[in-house]
């Protein structure tokens, strides 16, 4: 046996004892031979990649055909070894798997191409879901070695991983792969946010570990008393999931971190409920936080009891209680399926084993595949569907329908049938009439009223509140076919309204040429298609206006001249003494000088002077955004040099980026005050992903002091980046 394969075979023997090791070895030798002259970006022989992918899959317990396909997955694409040869050497099944993975890799990634790739993935999945399992393992190994790739490639691949591959792993129940993919992509995309969360986690680790130990011992002793055989252990928190909780639930970091996770593994389903009763007897459960996924499994076969109790010191503790078989499925998902399928076939030779393609979500995805002609729209629907949790509601006949969390009766109507959705005019939930935009909860019974009128159709307002990709697609399709003219008018009106709101010149901006150029930039064939897209809600009117303004050179053109004229007039009457700007003008040391506020220059910056109309010289950094316009009047530019005195005061602007939390602003302002800087202005905005961006402008006498100020602000908990802002930055 080849010694290189020993670690792989050791794993295969543990997870899949009946695997054909000779077949796997033959696949390795074939791949090694054909990749013999190829190297990876890291300089390693290429064969290390297929071998690593196969090892990841072996750890998940996949079958020998999947392992062979993983070893051979790049041969057809990257070497002279053809699919027909592979079929002759290894059989039809392995050839189909390799062909499926090759098809996924072939398409180049742009926006539409990316959607096409995902589509091919869905088609390949529908034939054999193992294709996707191989693809996920392939992506995981590529993410582990992503540091050898150029920066733009790292960003692109990480974004795809977060938006498509990690959610797909989640949908297939492969949590171990999902968590690692998320953390790797998070590190690449937001290294500073990742480091800050890692720092906050490590600072609190010792205190948390003591608390965890106490909880585990209590649970252990209680279960032993009740004669329940169980394994109790702490559940690791993943950095990206901590970040997600901060965003989705708006929870401060300390509140998340008090939620200590415990996992209890027992032998039988009966033991799960017995353990739950024992734990609730010791600690009070938190109302509304108990979920029974054993009786009603999640979409991806996940089963577990979830509860949150008020533990020692009054701190909440999250517990998951499940059998060992459920745990295996929760960690490895679909990949664990074949093992169980084999065991079930062995124990039940005559019985029918439910195939993995019965997973409802997969069928739904294939329905979209047929319905949605626009690849971009398909991708949006997929991203949305992958990112939401679910509620389960009943039809009047008791059939269960799964919908995205926050779904409305309209989503329910479209889930029942497209025509029911189009003709929906009202709904009754649990026997009471409700508005169509009301949210459905778990266990609601929903009845839909439909219109008999031949002209019945959906309302454009529904797009504002529907949650499911299917409903959104169907409503948009209806408007695309039936209401193009109306959409064009509505789009035109929306763009005009957005311009009037900003006080922009309508005639100039809506001239045919400017709009046509913009439509082509956005990949629409003509202006009417652009209007229709706005009318149907595919693109926001505000976004079109912004792009138009940028295309025509921006609206900031005259700002510098207004600022130059306005600022000195405000300064009239202010005493000249004590306002030394610390700058000398070449040839005339007596000219009044002021430091421009647009780029806040300080000693050490390269600067240039601009003679304003009758109000002295304004000083700008040479990389200031406004210098380009000033250079159009070279006769008004003058040479200037730094000459700071003891009474010189300089304006400095800094930007602070932090993970949002209560009292953040007061901590930053207190730190600045402690460093004796005079804050003139402050602004704070918080983005949807819970990142607080604060800008401060303050006065300083000695610019060398700035480094100490930035360092002090950087040490505030939650702050992951702070830097000086100049318009050139």
- For residue 608, the SS3 value is strand
The C-alpha torsion from 435 through 441 and 443 to 445, rounded to 10°, is: 10
CA 647 to chain centre: 50
Evaluate the CA torsion angle 242, 243, 244, 248 in order and state its sign.
positive
Helix/strand number for the chain, H first, E second: 33, 20
Q: Which residues pair with 686 in a beta bridge?
A: 692
DSSP assignment of 385-431 equals HHH--EEEEE-TT--EEEEETT--HHHHHHHH-HHHHHTEEEEEETT
Per DSSP bridges, beta strands 617-621 and 593-595 are parallel
E-assigned strand segments in 432-510: 432-434, 446-450
Does residue 115 contact residue 378 with C-beta atoms inside 8 Å? yes
- Other CB atoms within 10 A of residue 461 CB: 12
- DSSP 8-state symbol, 120: H
- For residue 298, the SS3 value is coil
Catalytic positions, written as ranges: 77-78
The C-alpha torsion from 315 through 320 and 321 to 324, rounded to 10°, is: -140
Distance CA 257, CA 243 (A): 11
Does residue 723 contact residue 654 with C-beta atoms inside 8 Å? yes
Over its C-alpha atoms, the chain yields an Rg (Å, rounded) of: 32
Long-range Cβ pairs for the range 674-682 (8 Å, 24+): 674/712, 675/705, 675/708, 675/709, 675/712, 677/652, 677/709, 680/651
Distance CA 307, CA 292 (A): 9
Per DSSP bridges, beta strands 400-404 and 640-642 are unpaired
> Residue 421's closest CA among 463, 457, 385?
457
């Amino acid at each position: 046996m080849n010694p290189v394969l020993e670690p792989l075979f050791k794993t295969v023997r543990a997870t899949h004892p009946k695997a054909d090791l000779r077949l796997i070895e033959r696949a390795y030798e074939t791949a090694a031979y054909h990749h013999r002259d190829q190297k990876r970006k890291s300089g390693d022989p290429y064969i290390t990649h297929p071998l690593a992918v196969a090892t990841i899959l072996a750890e998940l317990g996949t079958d020998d055909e999947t392992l062979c396909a993983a070893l051979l997955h790049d041969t057809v694409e990257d070497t002279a070894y053809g699919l027909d040869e592979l079929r002759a050497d290894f059989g039809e099944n392995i050839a189909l798997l390799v062909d499926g993975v090759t098809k996924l890799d072939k398409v180049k990634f742009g926006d539409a191409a990316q959607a096409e790739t995902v589509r091919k993935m869905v088609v390949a999945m529908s034939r054999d879901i193992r294709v996707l399992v191989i693809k996920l393992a392939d992506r995981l190994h590529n993410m582990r070695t992503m540091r050898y790739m150029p920066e733009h490639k790292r960003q692109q691949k990480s974004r795809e991983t977060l938006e498509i591959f990690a959610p797909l792993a989640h949908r297939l129940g492969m949590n171990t792969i999902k968590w690692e993919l998320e953390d790797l992509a998070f590190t690449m995309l937001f290294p500073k946010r990742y480091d800050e969360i890692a720092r906050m986690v490590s600072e609190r680790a010792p205190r948390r570990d003591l608390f965890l130990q106490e909880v585990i011992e209590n649970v252990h002793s209680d279960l032993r008393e009740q004669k329940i055989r169980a394994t109790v252990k702490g559940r690791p928190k993943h950095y990206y999931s901590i970040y997600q909780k901060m965003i989705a639930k708006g929870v401060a970091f300390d509140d998340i971190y008090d939620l200590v996770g415990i996992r209890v593994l027992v032998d039988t389903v009966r033991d799960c409920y017995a353990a739950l009763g024992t734990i609730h007897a010791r600690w009070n459960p938190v109302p509304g936080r108990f979920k029974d996924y054993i009786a009603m499994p999640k979409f991806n076969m996940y089963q577990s009891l979830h509860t949150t109790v008020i533990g020692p010191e009054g701190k909440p503790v999250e517990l998951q209680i499940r059998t060992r078989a459920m745990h295996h499925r929760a960690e490895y998902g679909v990949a664990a399926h074949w093992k169980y399928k084999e065991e079930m076939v062995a124990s039940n030779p005559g019985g029918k084993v439910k195939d993995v393609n019965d997973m409802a979500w997969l069928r739904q995805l294939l329905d979209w595949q047929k319905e949605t002609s626009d690849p971009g729209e398909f991708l949006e629907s997929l991203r949305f569907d992958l990112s939401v949790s679910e509620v389960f509601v009943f039809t009047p006949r008791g059939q269960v329908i799964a919908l995205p969390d926050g779904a409305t009766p309209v989503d329910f109507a479209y889930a029942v049938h497209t025509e029911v959705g189009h003709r929906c005019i009202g709904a009754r939930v649990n026997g009471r009439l409700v508005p169509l935009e009301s949210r459905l909860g778990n266990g609601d019974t929903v009845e839909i009223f439909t219109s008999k009128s031949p002209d019945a159709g959906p309302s454009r307002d529904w797009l504002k509140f529907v949650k499911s990709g299917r409903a959104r697609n169907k409503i948009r399709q209806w408007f695309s076919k039936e209401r193009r003219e109306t959409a064009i008018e509505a789009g035109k009106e929306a763009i005009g309204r957005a311009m009037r709101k900003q006080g922009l010149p309508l005639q100039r901006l809506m001239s045919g040429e400017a709009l046509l150029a913009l439509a082509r930039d956005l990949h629409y064939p003509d202006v009417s298609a652009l209007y229709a897209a706005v009318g149907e809600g595919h693109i926001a009117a505000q976004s079109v206006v912004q792009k138009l303004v940028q295309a025509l050179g921006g609206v900031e053109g005259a700002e510098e001249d207004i600022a130059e004229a306005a600022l000195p007039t405000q300064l009239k009457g202010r005493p000249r003494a004590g306002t030394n700007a610390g700058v000398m003008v070449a040839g005339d040391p007596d000219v009044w000088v002021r430091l421009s506020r647009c780029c806040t220059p300080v000693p050490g910056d390269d600067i240039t002077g601009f003679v304003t109309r009758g109000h002295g010289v304004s000083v700008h950094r040479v990389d200031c955004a406004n210098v380009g316009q000033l250079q159009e009047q070279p006769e008004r530019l003058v040479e200037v040099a730094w000459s700071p005195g003891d009474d010189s005061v300089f304006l400095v602007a800094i930007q602070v980026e932090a993970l949002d939390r209560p009292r953040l602003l007061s901590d930053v302002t207190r730190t600045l005050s402690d460093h004796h800087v005079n804050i003139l202005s402050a602004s704070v905005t918080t983005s949807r992903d819970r990142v607080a961006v604060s800008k401060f402008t303050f006065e300083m006498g000695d610019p060398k002091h700035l480094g100490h100020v930035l360092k002090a602000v950087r040490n505030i908990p939650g702050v992951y980046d702070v830097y000086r802002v100049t318009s050139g930055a």
